């Protein structure tokens, strides 16, 4: 530190430091009224503070990655629907298993992340979801000064070569009409599962999500005009007993779905069955929900899937059977009817859906092949 006298007779104390961004020498100064020993000490203290503040702008705290991730997640979760949080919790477990609690976020580089992604054995879509999560975390870290670079930007997700099994797998994502009939017949056979059959048939005929279907009350139906108003989804995030109606998955999911006569008849029959059980079954109490259990409460996805899969197994169907396959099956039905893709996505409430596109393309390609086969059979 040195001192220079100003034109007005005061004293300018000056100190050099290296700019952390340019690495060039810079100066900081302070003007005092004297150059006594006390003034020198005061100037030294002021200049040290000024220089520290400049250096702190570039200084990266040695913070563990998991700490930053958790901090980001706590903020990000505020924007999510309760039902969506489970997906992010699962992704966090995968990431934390690879990037342990001792690894500092400032030390993570592209090589470490590239090796991490190379080790994953999940679908391309799911791996992309994990990458998107990490990208958001590092953007947050840079914004708050925990990191000065985003190593995710240079990570490349290598597409795996598709096998014959992968190509054929798209057919396992939906059911043929004959398969649906076998499963429904099996469910309707028993008093224990006929309600599962009602819900399964409704989803098959409308393409609505499970959560949307079980959130429906009688007032959501306009049966005179053959319409159901989809305005929410069931939320079990706080437990089965504290169920609530939450918002739909996306804004596009708020929609009106036209019903066929078969669907209207199914809904009317379900209304009547609920009313009958209300007066004849002592343990049946209904809050107005339509697709309910024997006790009158909205059906849970896990119990539905168990009954649905068991009916499929008894019917000799070896696909992975969950409620979501009915939604895909509805897409395949619409594709067979030559319904435009946009109209299908509007009906099922999708803004962008990879599986919907794949099923649509698969069905329409299959129809083209069948058309050629029919022409050749007729000698044309």
Pick out the chain residues at pLDDT < 70.
21, 56-61, 80-84, 160-168, 236-244, 248-250, 351-355, 364-380
What pLDDT digit, counting tens, does each position of 184-211 carry? 999 999 999 999 999 999 999 999 999 9
Q: How far apart are CA 255 and CA 348, in angstroms?
A: 9
pLDDT tens, residue by residue, 64-88: 999 999 999 998 887 766 666 777 8
Domain 65-160 and domain 170-373 have a common topology: no
- Is beta strand 244-246 parallel, antiparallel or unpaired with respect to 25-32? unpaired
- Give the pLDDT of residue 370: 62
Q: Where are the domains of the chain?
A: 2-56, 65-160, 170-373
| Torsion sign (Cα): 374, 376, 377, 380 | positive
**For the chain, how long is the longest CA-to-CA vector?**
111
Measured CA to CA in angstroms, residue 343 lies from 190, 348, 351 at distances of 36, 9, 11
- pLDDT given at position 380: 46
Q: Is the Cα dihedral 256, 260, 266, 268 positive or negative?
A: positive
| CATH architecture group of domain 170-373 | Orthogonal Bundle (1.10)
The pTM is what?
Answer: 0.61
CATH architecture for residues 65-160: Orthogonal Bundle (1.10)
């Amino acid at each position: 530190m040195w001192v220079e006298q100003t034109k007005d007779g005061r004293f300018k104390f000056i100190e050099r430091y290296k700019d952390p961004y340019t690495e060039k020498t810079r100066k900081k100064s302070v003007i005092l009224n004297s150059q006594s020993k006390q003034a020198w000490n005061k100037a030294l203290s002021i200049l040290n503070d000024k220089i520290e503040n400049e250096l702190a702008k570039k200084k990266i705290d040695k913070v563990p990655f998991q700490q930053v991730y958790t901090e980001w997640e706590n903020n990000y979760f505020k924007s999510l629907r309760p039902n969506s949080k489970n997906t992010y919790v699962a992704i966090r477990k995968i990431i934390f298993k690879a990037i342990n609690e001792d690894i500092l976020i400032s030390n993570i580089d592209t090589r470490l992340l590239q090796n991490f992604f190379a080790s994953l054995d999940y679908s391309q879509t799911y791996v992309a979801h994990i990458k998107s999560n990490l990208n958001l975390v590092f953007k947050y870290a840079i914004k708050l000064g925990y990191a000065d670079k985003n190593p995710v930007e240079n990570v490349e997700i290598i597409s795996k070569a598709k096998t014959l099994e992968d190509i054929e797998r798209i057919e396992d994502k939906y059911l043929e009409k004959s398969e649906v009939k076998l499963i429904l017949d099996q469910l309707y056979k028993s008093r224990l599962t006929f309600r599962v059959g009602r819900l399964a048939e409704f989803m098959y005929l409308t393409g609505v999500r499970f959560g949307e279907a079980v959130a429906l009350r009688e007032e959501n139906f306009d049966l005179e005009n053959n319409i159901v108003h989809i305005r929410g989804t069931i939320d079990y995030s706080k437990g089965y007993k504290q169920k609530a109606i939450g918002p739909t998955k996306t804004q596009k999911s708020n929609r009106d779905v036209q019903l066929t006569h078969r669907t209207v008849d199914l809904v009317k029959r379900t209304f009547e069955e609920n009313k009958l059980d209300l007066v004849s079954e002592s343990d049946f109490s209904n809050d107005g929900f339509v697709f309910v259990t024997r006790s009158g409460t909205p059906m849970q996805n896990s119990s539905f899937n168990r009954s649905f899969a068991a009916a499929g197994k008894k019917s000799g169907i070896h696909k992975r059977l969950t409620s979501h396959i009915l939604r895909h099956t509805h897409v395949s039905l619409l594709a067979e009817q030559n319904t435009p893709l946009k109209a299908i996505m509007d009906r099922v409430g999708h803004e962008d859906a990879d599986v919907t596109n794949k099923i649509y393309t698969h069905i329409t390609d299959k129809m083209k092949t069948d058309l050629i086969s029919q022409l050749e059979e007729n000698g044309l």
